[in-house]
Structure 1
Amino acid sequence: MPDPADSSVTVTLAEIARIAGVTRAAVSNWRRRHPSFPAPTGGTDISPLFALDDVQGWLRAQGKLREEARDLDWLWPQFEALGDRDVMGAAIAAVGTSSLSRGGSGREASAVPLSDTARGLVRQALELAESEGRAETFRFLLDRWLRAHVRQIATTPTPLAELMAEIAEAETGARAEDGDSAVLAGATRTVLDPACGTGSLLLAAAQRERHGSRLRLLGQDNDPVLAALAAARVAMVATLDGGVPRVDVRVGDTLREDRWATETADVVLSNPPSNERDWGHEELATDPRWTYGHPPRTEPELAWVQHALAHLVPGGTAVLLLPPGVASRRAGRRIRAALLRAGALRAVVSLPPGAAPPHGVALHLWVLRRPADDGRTAPDVGMLTLIDTSRVRIEHSGGGKAGMDWAALREVVLAGISSAGGAAKEGDTPIGTKSVPIIDLLDEQVDFTPARHVPAAAAVAGLRLRRSWSRFGSLLHDLQDLTSVLARLELHFERAAVQTTTIDELVRASAVLLRGGHTPAEGRIRGGGVVSGGVPVLTVQDVLQGGKSTGWMPVGEVFASEDLTVTVPDEVVVVGVARAFDAWVDTDAPTVLGSQLFALRTDPSVLDPWFVAGCLRAPANGRQAGSHASTTSRINVRRLHVLRLPLDEQRRYGDAFRRLAMFERTLAEVRDLGGELVGGLSDGLSAGGLPRG
């Protein structure tokens, strides 16, 4: 393993846990049980820091290094010790560009100057790359850097980037069917991303190109570090069929300083910045890119739309990820109308919340094509395809956390795109898709938000009702099985009182580890439903509103934090507020617990977690442990009682409590699903959906 470049390099408990391949709780136990564990060299009592070389030596001496531990695990803390985000990113970009084969690097974007320490780490990383693999080393460092700065750098999720590239490819195929000679001849294709960030969209485009040598990838970003990372990332991994695409990423403010002003592209893919007010409204008033009108100050996204169209060859395709307000805000209605009249806008796709940052917003994809006459068409003809995918979500099988079904989303979107222009026969229109005559949209609002035009029944009725009825039948079967078991329980209410103990006594006997939750700082929690790669954050308010998490945090950020209470499987969660008092076994861990939520980890040789949860959640237990204040009664969790029973007997009770909890959940799901079925059937019947008798 490499030696740390600097003895001042420090690591947190979470970093030690990752290196050793154990949980943070295990590292905390090592600290308590082993006097030889390295002493903190900094940090705080809550989040101490330890010298990397001391930790490395201790783990090696104690035989606690996992067999699969990689040298890269030791390398990252040294990059992190560089401190400055830009210096770290520039060093990682240098690793990528220095690892590229000759002829594949293209023109490298300049980044910030590197210190001697940073250059030393680059050399060390390149040495490791000889054994770990060049692409793997670069990907590892880039992934860790993005995780560390997830709140400052928004990236386009890989599945969404791939979908955008596939949409553009489908539109290019349509050009070939129309007889576009350049496409038919297999000429070099140029793809441009004018706000490329770390290059996700350029990479997705490259990976769909079968002949990399026929591809030019152009990018621009105003952040030199991101531009350098994008150039290295795309050129590193986008080598297909022995051909290397030409990659050129430049630095500059795209709207004010267009570094590709003289270039045109076959495809533009972009996730441009939004809600920026200082984008150059006044100084760019006479810019020739504004073919469809000068964008208002409050509509920077329409500037990006016209920038993309200006860089397309006639008939070229652009796919942009935009906020939903761009489709309806009053200030932009004249430009939207001009885009429709010219036939420049082909389709608008409303994505489900959680598809990309900001995750609480249902973002839109705009699919555009540059008209052959540069937007001077006068007749109001043609159709606009609107696709509403807001209901394309699934429930993960492990406990009902909402997640993104990317395969279903792709299927719905591509089916809708293929029907663009209203070519589909009546009755064959894909679910969630509607082709609207442009003339019908040219009213006072010029609002083409898909949800306003695609009927809910058309989007979800058939498929959703079939799935709902199937699920409803399965739930009724489960409910019948649980009923037959629970109804056979013979309870002797006159039985003599059994001895009890308190959580406080169990904590002092080390049979229970009690931890209190803490609400993460403002700005750390994302909304819009839990997404893939996110850890749910549960609050008392969530419990009061039905028990499902409404916020989440990225998994990397959760496990890099020392100030969060994160559950592990089979921990008991207790709500410490009387009006929401409850207790359950967290089978869906990990979960971040907010204030007034408590995690109880039981010793399995002493206590059964289902038995403990069942005892604790009894209403009488909560009443006797409450503070009895009028409106803000708190539960003293340590005063809650648990029956004193042998472990075998606990397991009998625990099995009954577990079935009772399943019965309660199933009843709730039957109620909710029944309401959906009633609503769906009502919509269908009121729309005349019954077949003719």
Structure 2
Amino acid sequence: MTTAYQGQLSLKDIAELAGVGRPAVSNWRARNENFPSPVEDSPPRRPLFHFDEIVGWLEKEGLLPDDWKTKATNVLVSAAINPLTTNSGDNTGAAKVALAVLAAYKNASENRYDFLPDASDIHASLEQFLKSLVPNIISSAQLEALGESITSIPTAALVTLVHGLARINDDSYGTAAQMIVEVLFGNAGRSVFGHHTTSTAASTLMINAASTTTEAGATVFDPTCGLSGVLLGVGSRVDDSTVIGNDLNPDSVSISMLRAYLDGVEASFTVSDLLVNDPQPGLQADTIVSEPPFSLRLGSEQFESVAESVNALLGVKIPPTVAGDVAFLTYPISHLSSEGRAYVLTAPSLCSHPRLDEFRQKLVARGMVEAIVQLPQKLLTTTSIATTLWVLRAPDQSGNPAPVLLADASNTESPEEHIAEWLTAMRNGKTTTIPTGSLSLAEMVTTGSNLLPSQVLAQAPSSEELLDDFNDAWADLSTTADSIKAVLPTGKPEAGEIPTASSTESITKIESIARVSTRSWANDEKRPDDTISAQLATRRKNKNPVEVFIKTDAQTLLPGDIIVPLMAPAPAWVFGNEEGKWVAPPHAFVLRVKDDSFLPAYLVACINAPFNAYDDGTRIPRRRLSEIKIPLLDIAEQKKVVDVIEPLQQLSQQAEQLAAQSEASTSAVANLIYFGADI
């Protein structure tokens, strides 16, 4: 007899299941005593609830949509694997087991419900059930490794996984597999597997780009396939394709094999270090896609192998420091068919590294580079590193290579949605929505071998622009210089006119100064239910604010509040009269004067004064409010101090502006020297 299914849902999952927003679910939970209780021992900040209890409650309350089963794949998968995310420290093993269970269910077809064991024999029964995957889907060695992962998963989590995944519809296995990978590897970024997250903008961009030249019957190859999101994405779009993947990591390949089966894509995989042992020595592929690791440091054996292959291909020597990047860029070229294309994602340094001038010239001279697209930062998961997409082809034997097509998408949003449009337009000689152009071998010889699109495509300013910049810069400089004259003190105050204090007090002990808490949440999913939006004063004078969420009854900043950054080098400042609700940055103290005994401007001057400089021995010391001393003056004396200090502060701000405008004027003069021959 099987146990009742106890899949677990988060608040977000429940909202998706019911077709409402997360706050609505929180309201149901708060206002209905019969709302199901969280699973025992689930995280308090991310409570989980039993799947069947939630479905039963929603159905009883008339809140369960009629068509929920047709849209419930994501929720069903979440319910099945949520316990794994909290109980297993081995996401790799958990992913392999989850995908293998799905694959076994697909392989068993309509008989899959015959396998729903009790907790008493779940581990042994599952290992026996998964033997059906050998040898057509995975190998016996991979099955043995699966057995080790199964034993490491707690019984309750394994029961939930097995029973939950049995509910996935026959036509949803591929979607379920993708979600398992996203949930278990979504924040892994670039790691030992290469790219864990298969739904990132980068992977979508690669799929859309490669699809522009991949036709029916094509051979598609990924030499650094990772978990094969890109490889299978391209292969699934093409009829009668031959799909081949390779990766250095055996676990990565195991997951890829299971995903291929679940996606319905026939594919073969190898495990090999392509830098020393070519896994496909005779392959000539029509499409090659690759998201290799960046800046990989090579061992001596790897470097010798790479140096030899690059020299054979181009007749050039390469420096060891960039040999890894060069190897991953050139390897696909030797495996392309005559009309094939390779799409390789690299760091921008390959386009401009000074020690690769000859390397780039040889690539272009032999017609191996069709296009380079410079992409925006933060395209990859968990890193802001910039990237470029190289579109490569087999060597041109004509001796008259076509110019390299260049596109600068570094300042665009969602390039993955437009990459196919850009590449198609560039190939057809049409204009695009981003800066594009081309560079011939002759131009490279005369102007240098830099292939970074943003630099090659940079337009020289026109005569009108040069003159406008020159005149505007000097006009701004003159205006600021005049305004400085207006705030210059007319004379030095006498030292005897500056009030002096006979005593000081710690700012934390002054009763008329209170500390204010303005806690906020930037993450919409983790914020409490009774919150509203507010702005966050992230920098002095509220520059570059961002929207956050605060409790409905939370304190917000008032004019005159003092913002004291936690980091000692950053100056304190007085919050002004800004419209809307504002809260302080997360790493700052907020002080408020409760009566008229202190002027906020005076307190800020004291906090920023040298006598309150603080050093705790670290590189960037952190302030302690208890260490801040305030000289005690009456309000009239404080006003005298502020009257002296405020013009000096204004002068300092004007001086900063003057320095920036002086630099702009200097640049305008330099540009006239360089570009102004036609004026």
Q: Contact (CA 8 Å) 1:11, 1:49: kept in 2 or not? A: no
- Residue of structure 1 in register with 2:273 after alignment: 253
* CA distance 1:16–1:170, change in 2 (3 Å): closer
* Residue of 308, 311, 329 corresponding to 1:305: 329
* CA distance 1:158–1:344, change in 2 (3 Å): same
- Residue of structure 2 in register with 1:82 after alignment: 88
Q: Contact (CA 8 Å) 2:209, 2:420: kept in 1 or not? A: no
Q: Which amino acid aligns with 2:575?
A: F
Give the TM-score, by structure 2 length. Answer: 0.58
- Residue of structure 1 in register with 2:439 after alignment: 436
Bigger shift: residues 330-339 or 141-150: 141-150
Q: Secondary structure of the equivalent of 2:303?
A: coil
Give the TM-score, by structure 1 length. Answer: 0.57
Answering whether residue 321 of structure 2 is matched by residue 282 of structure 1, we say: no
Answering whether residue 167 of structure 2 is matched by residue 140 of structure 1, we say: no
Equivalent positions of 1:182-331 (< 5 A) are 188-209=217-238, 211=239, 214-237=240-263, 245-278=265-298, 281-284=302-305, 287-288=308-309, 291-292=313-314, 293=316, 295-299=318-322, 300-331=324-355
CA-based RMSD of the aligned residues comes to 5.6
* CA distance 1:332–1:319, change in 2 (3 Å): same
Q: Could you report, residue by residue, the CA deviation over 1:339-368 in whole angstroms, capped at 9, with x for unpaired residues?
A: 112111111111122333465343111111
Q: Secondary structure of the equivalent of 2:168?
A: helix
Structure 2 CA distance for aligned equivalents of residues 61 and 247 of structure 1: 44
Q: Could you report, residue by residue, the CA deviation over 1:644-692 in whole angstroms, capped at 9, with x for unpaired residues?
A: xxxxxxxxxxxxxxxxxxxxxxxxxxxxxxx9xxx9xx99xx9999xxx
Structure 1 portions without partners, runs of 5+: 173-182, 239-244, 394-403, 462-512, 521-535, 553-564, 599-615, 637-674
Q: Which amino acid aligns with 2:375?
A: L
Structure 1 CA distance for aligned equivalents of residues 187 and 584 of structure 2: 18
Q: Contact (CA 8 Å) 1:40, 1:51: kept in 2 or not? A: yes
How far is the alpha carbon of 1:447 from its aligned partner?
A: 1.2
Answering whether residue 395 of structure 2 is matched by residue 371 of structure 1, we say: yes
Identity %: 18
Q: Which amino acid aligns with 1:83?
A: G
* Residue of 162, 168, 171 corresponding to 1:123: 162
How far is the alpha carbon of 1:540 from its aligned partner?
A: 5.0
Structure 2 CA distance for aligned equivalents of residues 141 and 302 of structure 1: 33
- Residue of structure 1 in register with 2:386 after alignment: 362
Structure 2 CA distance for aligned equivalents of residues 141 and 257 of structure 1: 32
How far is the alpha carbon of 1:435 from its aligned partner?
A: 1.4
Structure 2 CA distance for aligned equivalents of residues 519 and 429 of structure 1: 36
* CA distance 1:570–1:208, change in 2 (3 Å): farther
Q: Which amino acid aligns with 1:391?
A: N
* Residue of 392, 401, 421 corresponding to 1:411: 421
Q: Contact (CA 8 Å) 1:217, 1:247: kept in 2 or not? A: yes
Q: Secondary structure of the equivalent of 1:220?
A: strand
Q: Contact (CA 8 Å) 2:307, 2:318: kept in 1 or not? A: no
Answering whether residue 373 of structure 2 is matched by residue 349 of structure 1, we say: yes
- Residue of structure 2 in register with 1:499 after alignment: none
Aligned residues: 495
Structure 2 CA distance for aligned equivalents of residues 429 and 59 of structure 1: 50
Structure 1 CA distance for aligned equivalents of residues 29 and 601 of structure 2: 34
* CA distance 1:519–1:125, change in 2 (3 Å): closer
How far is the alpha carbon of 1:413 from its aligned partner?
A: 3.9
- Residue of structure 1 in register with 2:586 after alignment: 594
Q: Contact (CA 8 Å) 1:381, 1:439: kept in 2 or not? A: no
How far is the alpha carbon of 1:320 from its aligned partner?
A: 0.7
How far is the alpha carbon of 1:12 from its aligned partner?
A: 8.0
How far is the alpha carbon of 1:312 from its aligned partner?
A: 1.4
Q: Which amino acid aligns with 2:223?
A: P
Q: Contact (CA 8 Å) 2:200, 2:381: kept in 1 or not? A: no
Q: Secondary structure of the equivalent of 1:516?
A: coil
Structure 2 CA distance for aligned equivalents of residues 102 and 580 of structure 1: 69
Q: Contact (CA 8 Å) 1:190, 1:266: kept in 2 or not? A: yes
* Residue of 398, 412, 416 corresponding to 1:392: 412
Q: Secondary structure of the equivalent of 1:347?
A: strand
Q: Secondary structure of the equivalent of 1:442?
A: helix
- Residue of structure 1 in register with 2:114 after alignment: none
Structure 2 CA distance for aligned equivalents of residues 451 and 43 of structure 1: 50
How far is the alpha carbon of 1:538 from its aligned partner?
A: 8.5
* CA distance 1:372–1:144, change in 2 (3 Å): same
Q: Secondary structure of the equivalent of 2:167?
A: helix
The structure with the larger Rg is: 2
Structure 2 CA distance for aligned equivalents of residues 39 and 86 of structure 1: 27
Structure 2 CA distance for aligned equivalents of residues 146 and 433 of structure 1: 36
Q: Which amino acid aligns with 1:220?
A: N
Equivalent positions of 1:544-559 (< 5 A) are 546-548=543-545
Q: Contact (CA 8 Å) 1:538, 1:548: kept in 2 or not? A: yes
Q: If each structure's helix is expressed as a fraction of its own residues, which one has the higher value?
A: 2
Structure 2 CA distance for aligned equivalents of residues 570 and 50 of structure 1: 24
- Residue of structure 1 in register with 2:469 after alignment: none
Structure 1 CA distance for aligned equivalents of residues 198 and 536 of structure 2: 28
Q: Contact (CA 8 Å) 2:5, 2:163: kept in 1 or not? A: no
Q: Which amino acid aligns with 1:274?
A: F
Structure 2 portions without partners, runs of 5+: 110-132, 465-515, 524-532, 564-571, 610-622, 626-663
Answering whether residue 606 of structure 2 is matched by residue 630 of structure 1, we say: yes
